[in-house]
């Protein structure tokens, strides 16, 4: 960790514009982003979802043609750069797994080695036509930048995913993302930024979210790259185009789960209640518990 304290680290998120069907160009973009992050003193850099391939596939066959194994050229390049520059990398990968399935994945690289591969478990829209969903819980990996959890784009919209990563000890949740513009964005913040801020605040973790930019086959992108602190404050401004966003943070803040003298976000959990279905009280049904006072008693 490069900071003055062993718990002080610098996080970076790279907002890039990959091009569908041009893996060599995309590798060049990601390599430049890693080098730029290293020059900015980053301990961790997060790259966007599917940054080796682009996103708007014509069909499943095109996605398969652009998929790479984890020991393929993109990951090997990221490993070499991470080792050379002594930093951790979380990057989105169009992956061809050992069983021949095409996955929307994220790799976690630390000390030049692949420490984890997370296969996106919540597929968005036409992703369901191209990818097999992951079936394992999202990981938390100990890295030189602290304990890093991983959620890929739509995964992060499920509060239980982000809470599970917090419970498992994540200091930082890395979110490789491709957020398409679906409608006029909310003002003053797009929903994808609001979600990142809320996830950081209610779990008291840092969120490092790397979205993409550029128009691809008629699709525009939110550009929701951001670094958020455990109070839900955005530490970086919105970038309108390609950019590297950085923030130096104190991981001790993410390890203190207290909201106040009497409240702790994890200690106050009631899993014996939240694991059960909500109660449904139908109209006309007797009210549960003791009856209320009669009108005469009120008088």
What is the full per-residue pLDDT of the chain (299 aa) written as tens digits? 554 467 999 999 999 999 999 999 999 999 999 999 999 999 999 999 999 999 999 999 999 999 999 999 999 999 999 999 999 999 999 999 999 999 999 999 998 999 999 999 999 999 999 999 999 999 999 999 999 999 999 999 999 999 999 999 999 999 999 999 998 888 899 999 999 999 999 999 999 999 999 999 999 999 999 999 999 999 999 999 999 999 999 999 999 999 999 999 999 999 999 888 888 999 887 765 555 454 444 43
Residue 282 lies in a domain: no
* Per-residue tokens: 78: 């990221």
What is the total count of domains within the chain? 1
Q: How far is CA 244 from CA 188, 208, 248, 296, in A?
A: 22, 12, 13, 69
Query: CA 79, CA 30: separation in Å to the nearest integer?
Result: 12
**Domain contains 289:** no
What pLDDT is attached to residue 290?
52
- Residue 187: predicted pLDDT: 87
Q: Which domain holds residue 135?
A: 8-273
Is 13 within the bounds of a domain? yes
State residue 89's pLDDT score.
98
User: Has residue 297 been placed in a domain?
Assistant: no
Q: For residue 86, tell me if it sits in a domain.
A: yes
Residue 287 domain-assigned (yes or no): no
Contact (Cβ atoms closer than 8 angstroms) between residue 74 and residue 102: no
> Is 295 within a domain?
no
CATH of residue 82: 3.60.110.10
Q: Using CA atoms, how far apart are residues 89 and 113, in angstroms rounded to an integer?
A: 10
Residues carrying an active site annotation: 49, 120, 153
Q: Give the Å distances, CA to CA, from 74 to 28, 53, 78, 92.
A: 10, 10, 6, 10
Residue-level length of the chain? 299
Tell me 250's DSSP state: E
In a domain, 12, yes or no: yes
Instruction: Give the model's pLDDT for residue 119.
Output: 98
């Amino acid at each position: 960790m490069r900071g003055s304290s062993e718990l002080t680290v610098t996080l970076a998120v790279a907002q890039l514009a990959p091009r569908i069907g041009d893996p060599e160009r995309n590798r060049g973009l990601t390599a430049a982003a890693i080098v730029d992050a290293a020059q900015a003193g980053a301990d961790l850099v997060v790259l966007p979802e599917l940054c080796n391939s682009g996103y708007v596939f014509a069909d499943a066959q095109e996605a398969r043609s652009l998929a790479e194994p984890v020991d393929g050229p993109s990951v090997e390049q990221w490993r070499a750069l991470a080792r050379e520059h002594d930093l951790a990398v979380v990057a989105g990968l169009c992956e061809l797994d050992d069983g021949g399935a095409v996955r929307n994945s994220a790799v976690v690289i630390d000390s030049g080695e692949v420490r984890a591969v997370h296969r996106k478990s919540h597929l968005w829209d036409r992703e369901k036509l191209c990818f097999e969903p992951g079936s394992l819980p999202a990981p938390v990996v100990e890295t030189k930048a602290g304990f890093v959890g991983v959620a890929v784009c739509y995964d992060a919209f499920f509060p239980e995913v982000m809470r599970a990563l917090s419970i498992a000890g994540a200091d930082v949740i890395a979110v490789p993302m491709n957020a398409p513009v679906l409608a006029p964005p909310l003002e003053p913040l797009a929903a994808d930024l609001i979600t990142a801020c809320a996830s950081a605040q209610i779990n008291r973790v840092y969120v490092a979210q790397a979205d993409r930019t550029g128009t691809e086959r008629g699709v525009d992108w939110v550009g929701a790259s951001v670094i958020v602190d455990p109070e839900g404050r955005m530490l970086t401004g919105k970038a309108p185009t390609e950019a590297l966003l950085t923030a130096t943070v104190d991981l001790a803040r993410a390890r203190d789960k207290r909201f106040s003298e009497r409240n702790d976000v994890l200690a106050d959990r009631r899993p014996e209640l939240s694991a059960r279905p909500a109660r449904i009280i139908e109209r006309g049904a007797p009210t549960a518990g003791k009856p209320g006072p009669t009108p005469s008693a009120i008088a």
